[in-house]
Amino acid sequence: MKIGVAKEVEMGERRVALIPDTVSRLVKQGLEVWVEAGAGEQAFFADAAYEAAGATIVTDTAHLWREADVLLKVSPPRERADGQHETDLLHEGATLISFLDPLGNPGGIKRLADRKVTAFGIELIPRTSRAQSMDALSSQAGLAGYKATLIAAAALPKFFPMLTTAAGTIAPAKVFVIGAGVAGLQAIATARRLGAVVEAFDIRPAVKEEVQSLGAKFVEVKLEEETVAAGGYAKEVSDAAKQKTQEAIAEHVKLSDIVITTAQVPGRKAPRLVTGDMIAQMKPGSVVVDMAAEQGGNCEGSEAGKDVIRNGVTIIGPTNLPSTMPVHASQMYAKNLLTLVQYLIKDGVLMLNFEDDIISGTCVTHAGEVRNQRVRDLLGEPVAAK
């Protein structure tokens, strides 16, 4: 059983799928680990460290992809600079474990199925206690929430904490976090550590206690519809509910020095929560960090990868925030993958029990078929046979 670790080719992606520590654990279990040369250098893990952990460093990319039984990545397969698509480098029957963006890129999933690759989308790990240590979506979201707050603090032309000085007392910054999932909760916790006064909003009333436990005030809006999707994620709500939400948070946005938005719905455009009119009401020098910018943005006027200034307010649309902290992002992602690989491979054999909720929920392609029904719906394919 050969486990391959690919070097990422996506622009700006600095993470690596395994770090030397996780490699050594797999090697001790009798698995052979091949690491593409330079795979960990952007995350400050040298080839020599992988070799010391028992890995084989492979300089021929095509050879690594062709010979690996299980290929581990961070970002979905894509076209390389040499014109080859990474999916086409995999041999038929190979197993791929990676973020795959199945709902945003169903065509890529179909391509994997046509290649007869068994593909596991790491973002589809069930949100259960049994699968918690495999949940890379949550581990990376926590990093993103932390970094978003630091970006906001760096851009704000004020202090975060209250300060009493000989020159007078400085009032603490007011931070409003929209969306209290993993990223939002980490943003709240980080802003509180920096000394800000924090408020937070989420359409899911169940997160109120978590927000309050971090020392923030929860902004409540009662919506007359279900707001929680499967797995505890926020559900896309009706236009009427979106309008009610905007009206409820408008005053809080207006009075905030910093607004951090984190609201995203898998496979859908991000809900628009902060309007241009709200931005116009904010104080000059205020900052908005839109963590959903890549998905269309929660804030009107935000642009992915850019800083936009409107009415004196800086609107920041960061992309791939976990990659800006590649050491710990890779460490956490590698532990998620290690746990999943150990769960799937027993005595050197890949065990695919599709009665298991973790395996059935995460495996998107197998034996030439797309298994995930939501992806099949997007592709216009019939309901999968049981």
Amino acid at 151: I
Phi and psi at 292, nearest 5°, equal -100, 15
pLDDT bucket at 374, cuts 50 / 70 / 90:
very high
Residues taking part in catalysis:
127, 132, 135, 138, 233
Tens of pLDDT, residues 150-206: 999 999 999 999 999 999 999 999 999 999 999 999 999 999 999 999 999 998 888
* pLDDT value at residue 244: 78
* pLDDT value at residue 149: 98
Owner of token pair 């791929």: 96
Residue 300's nearest CA partner among 272, 281, 319, 321 is 272
* pLDDT value at residue 234: 57
User: What CA–CA distance (Å, rounded) separates 314 from 26?
Assistant: 46
pLDDT bucket at 280, cuts 50 / 70 / 90:
very high
Beta strands in the chain (DSSP E): 2-5, 32-36, 56-58, 70-72, 95-98, 118-121, 163-165, 168-170, 174-178, 197-201, 217-219, 258-261, 287-290, 307-310, 313-316, 345-346, 349-350, 363-366, 369-370
Instruction: Please state the pTM of the whole predicted model.
Output: 0.93
Mean pLDDT for the stretch of residues 212-219:
96
* pLDDT value at residue 206: 84
* pLDDT value at residue 228: 53
- Sign of the CA dihedral with 324 first, then 325, 326, and 329 last: negative
Write the CB contacts of 61 (distance below 8 Å, at least 6 apart in sequence). 6, 7, 36, 89
Tens of pLDDT, residues 92-144: 999 999 999 999 999 999 999 999 999 999 999 998 999 999 999 999 999 99
Write the CB contacts of 2 (distance below 8 Å, at least 6 apart in sequence). 31, 32, 33, 34, 67, 68, 69, 70
Tens of pLDDT, residues 234-275: 556 667 777 778 888 999 999 999 999 999 887 788 989 999
Residue 226 scores a pLDDT above 70: no
Angle between helices 136-155 and 182-193 (to 10 degrees): 40
* pLDDT value at residue 89: 96
* pLDDT value at residue 335: 98
Residue 345 scores a pLDDT above 70: yes
Q: Are 341 and 70 in contact (CB under 8 A)?
A: yes
Phi and psi at 206, nearest 5°, equal -65, -20
Tens of pLDDT, residues 41-73: 999 999 999 999 999 999 999 999 999 999 999
Please classify residue 298 by burial: count the beta carbons closer than 10 Å to its beta carbon, then call 0-12 exposed, 13-18 middle and 19+ buried: buried
Residue 229 scores a pLDDT above 70: no
Q: Please state whether 216 falls in left (phi above 0), alpha (psi between -120 and 50) or beta.
A: beta
DSSP letters of 80-126?
-TTS-BHHHHSPTT-EEEE---TTT-HHHHHHHHHTT-EEEEGGG--
Q: Are 117 and 365 in contact (CB under 8 A)?
A: yes
* pLDDT value at residue 264: 87
Residue 40's nearest CA partner among 26, 53, 25, 30 is 53
Cα separation values, 108 from 79, 124, 129, Å? 11, 16, 30
Phi and psi at 137, nearest 5°, equal -60, -40
Angle between helices 20-28 and 326-344 (to 10 degrees): 20
Residue 27's nearest CA partner among 1, 64, 59, 63 is 1
- Say how many CA atoms lie within 13 Å of 262 toward its Cβ: 31
Tens of pLDDT, residues 289-330: 999 999 999 999 999 999 999 999 999 999 999 999 999 999
Angle between helices 326-344 and 136-155 (to 10 degrees): 170
Write the CB contacts of 46 (distance below 8 Å, at least 6 apart in sequence). 40
* pLDDT value at residue 225: 56
Pairing of strands 118-121, 163-165: unpaired
User: What CA–CA distance (Å, rounded) separates 43 from 328?
Assistant: 9
* pLDDT value at residue 382: 78
* pLDDT value at residue 196: 98
